[in-house]
């Protein structure tokens, strides 16, 4: 079987929709053996499966986009909602990475917006909140829970391990932005100190 087809088949078998459908479909044979239904039990069983499948189907609830026009407070609120939605599906180390990412964004985003400089860093932070993080979490949450932990996807790692690596990478990048912004602040402080030293140590100032 083609690897892609096999992967899709496994995802379907592990999906919440299929599990719910199978569970509800078991009522068909049970009703047959109990004498409640007779002819047409296969059709009834199929209908029960479809009903269970529809009930079990759940599209990812995580938001994928955050408007560029949002204020810092609104952006952080959206990020908090995203983190809260993903948290029940994550291991402790993943939650720690998310908390660290949130902390970094809260620290640097207001400063980047106020300064109007460091366009590359501002783009990185916005894209992390707007695209990278929501898509990463949504793709993970869309996988059936058992599938995440048991099936190797890439580099000998499961989806759970891959997500841990991806969140760690985003966390490291946000920390790098914090260092960049802090470095700019340090340079500005040093430059201002040099200006003050030159300005207030002029002889004409001292003699005034």
d(CA 37, CA 91): 46
CB of 137 within 8 A of CB of 87? no
Distance CA(129)–CA(151), nearest Å, equals 28
Instruction: Calculate mean pLDDT across residues 115-136.
Output: 78
Which of 124, 136, 125, 122 shows the shortest CA–CA distance to 83? 136
- Label residue 63 by pLDDT band (50, 70, 90): very low
| Mean pLDDT, rounded, for 98-126 | 82
Mean per-residue pLDDT, 73-86: 86
Give residue 31's pLDDT.
75
Beta bridge partners of 152: 158
pLDDT at 61 over 50: no
* CA distances, 151 to each of 23, 71, 94, 137, 138 (Å): 23, 41, 19, 18, 18
* Residue 12 banded pLDDT, cuts 50, 70, 90: low
155-170 pLDDT per residue, tens: 788 888 999 999 999 9
Instruction: State if pTM tops 0.85.
Output: no
Residue 95, pLDDT score: 93
Would you say residue 87 has pLDDT above 70? yes
How does pLDDT run across 14-57, given as a tens digit for each residue? 666 677 778 777 887 777 777 777 777 778 888 777 777 666 66
Q: What is the rounded average pLDDT for all residues in the chain?
A: 74
Helices and strands counted in the chain (H then E)? 11, 2
What's the pLDDT score for residue 196?
45
């Amino acid at each position: 079987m083609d690897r892609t087809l096999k992967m899709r088949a496994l995802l379907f078998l592990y999906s919440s929709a299929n599990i719910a459908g199978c569970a509800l479909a078991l009522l068909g044979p049970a009703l047959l053996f109990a004498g409640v239904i007779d002819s047409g039990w296969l059709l009834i069983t199929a209908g029960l499966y479809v009903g269970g499948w529809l009930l079990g189907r759940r599209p990812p609830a995580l938001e994928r986009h955050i408007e560029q026009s949002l204020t810092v407070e609104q952006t952080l609120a959206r990020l908090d909602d995203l983190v809260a939605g993903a948290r029940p599906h994550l291991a402790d180390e993943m939650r720690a990475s998310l908390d660290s990412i949130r902390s970094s964004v809260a620290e640097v985003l207001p400063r980047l917006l106020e300064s109007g400089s460091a366009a590359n860093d501002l783009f990185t932070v916005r894209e992390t909140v707007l695209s990278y993080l929501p898509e990463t979490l949504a793709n993970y949450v869309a996988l059936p829970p058992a599938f995440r932990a048991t099936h190797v996807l890439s580099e000998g790692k499961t989806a759970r391990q891959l997500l841990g690596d991806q969140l760690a990478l985003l966390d490291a990048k946000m920390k790098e932005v914090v260092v960049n912004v802090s470095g700019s602040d340090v340079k500005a402080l040093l430059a201002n100190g040099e200006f003050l030293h030159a300005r207030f140590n002029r002889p004409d100032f001292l003699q005034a």
